[in-house]
Amino acid sequence: MMWIKIKRVIRSGFYSFWRNGFVSLSSILVMVVTLFVIGSTIFSGVILDSTLQQIREKVDINVYFVTSTPETDILDMKKSLEQLPEVQLPVVYVSREQALIDFRKRHENDQFTLQALDELGENPLGATLNIKAKDPAQYEGIAKFLDNKGSLSAGGNSIIDKVNYYQNKDAIDRLTKIINSANRLGFIMTIFLIIISILITFNTLRLVIYMSRDEISVMRLVGASTNYIRGPFFVAGAIYGFTSAIATLIIFYPITLWLGSTTEDFFVGLNIFQYYASHFGEIFLIIVGSGVAIGSISSFLAVRKYLKV
């Protein structure tokens, strides 16, 4: 009997979806807008994340060692830096020789500089360590660690010539703040937009069910149980959600295709279309899941009001 009831409820839900063509169409259009907002939120989140990641990767600090520092001391320091939890591996070591080669290469068209270098007779460049933190907020801690480490090494004489963190400090601090507020603002906007669009969908489905209120009371009076009345509305809501989700996914195809190359140029390397194609499975699940959940739950709640007879 249970199976027969489920079969009847599903069939009735399909019929009501199909026979209320215009109402179904308008509900689907409203739900497409909602799901589009949710989808766009996913894409803008990805763009924001990728941009912030790009910026983060551009931030680093360099430790310049005095020229007389033995390589073993520098490698020791590299090892101890790599053990810090906030440091992103690897810490790149550039030896004095490599620094000289790099310098020459950089100035290969600048004969005066190269001549001046030759006249010095010895390599004036110190070795460097290039450090990246996992989070920009952690650079200060790393710089402090280096301060302590530097003053304790080589018999009381600091082996560190300079750490460029202090020159970049302002920029790094500001960037950290921007990243944090962008994340927070993005999150608040996302929640806000999603809540608004869910409310709009809920209200639309409420209106649809309001039109069926007499029908619900008749069902009640012929002795139909609560779930038997609710079931078809629930199924129709789920169908609205599913159809809207498929429509939204189709709409995203040309839009991301069109925006793909633009985002690649603008957001350095992130092609939104490629992202859509490579993450289609997850996006499909999120959009279809949200559509079906919003549609069915809204209908389920909206019918409740008219079931009191």
Partner 1 sequence: MIHFDKVSKVYTDNCAALEEVSFSIEPKEFVSIVGHSGAGKTTLLKMLLAEEKPTKGKIFYESTDIHTLKKGEINNFRRKIGVVFQDFRLLPNKNVYENIAFAMEAAGRTDEEIEVDVPYVLDLVDLSKKIWNFPHELSGGEKQRVSIARAIVNQPDVIIADEPTGNLDPLNTYDIVQILKKINDLGTIVILTTHNKGVIDSLKKRVITMENGRIIRDDKEGKYVI
SS (H, E, C) the chain: CHHHHHHHHHHHHHHHHHHCHHHHHHHHHHHHHHHHHHHHHHHHHHHHHHHHHHHHHHCCEEEEECCCCCHHHHHHHHHHHHCCCCEEEEEEEECHHHHHHHHHHHCCCCHHHHHHHHHHCCCCCCCEEEEEECCHHHHHHHHHHHHHHHHHCHHHCCCEEEECHHHHHHHHHHHHHHHHHHHHHHHHHHHHHHHHHHHHHHHHHHHHHHCCHHHHHHHHHCCCCHHHHHHHHHHHHHHHHHHHHHHHHHHHHHHHHHHHHHHHHHCCCCCHHHHHHHCHHHHHHHHHHHHHHHHHHHHHHHHHHHHCC
185-224: contacts with partner 1 (CB under 8 A): 214-215, 217-224
Minimum CB distance to partner 1 smaller for 179 or for 236: 236
Among 123, 157, 203, 225, which residue sits at the site for partner 1 (rule: CB under 8 A)? 225
41 is an interface residue for partner 1 by CB under 8 A? no
Minimum CB distance to partner 1 smaller for 17 or for 252: 17
Quote the least distance from Cβ 41 to partner 1, whole Å.
Answer: 36
266 is an interface residue for partner 1 by CB under 8 A? no
4 is an interface residue for partner 1 by CB under 8 A? yes
Minimum CB distance to partner 1 smaller for 155 or for 223: 223
122 is an interface residue for partner 1 by CB under 8 A? no
Among 130, 151, 203, 226, which residue sits at the site for partner 1 (rule: CB under 8 A)? 226
Quote the least distance from Cβ 309 to partner 1, whole Å.
Answer: 6
Quote the least distance from Cβ 244 to partner 1, whole Å.
Answer: 21
248 is an interface residue for partner 1 by CB under 8 A? no
Among 16, 34, 201, 263, which residue sits at the site for partner 1 (rule: CB under 8 A)? 16
1 is an interface residue for partner 1 by CB under 8 A? yes
Which stretches of the chain bind partner 1, using CB under 8 A?
1, 4, 8, 15-16, 19-20, 214-215, 217-226, 228, 309
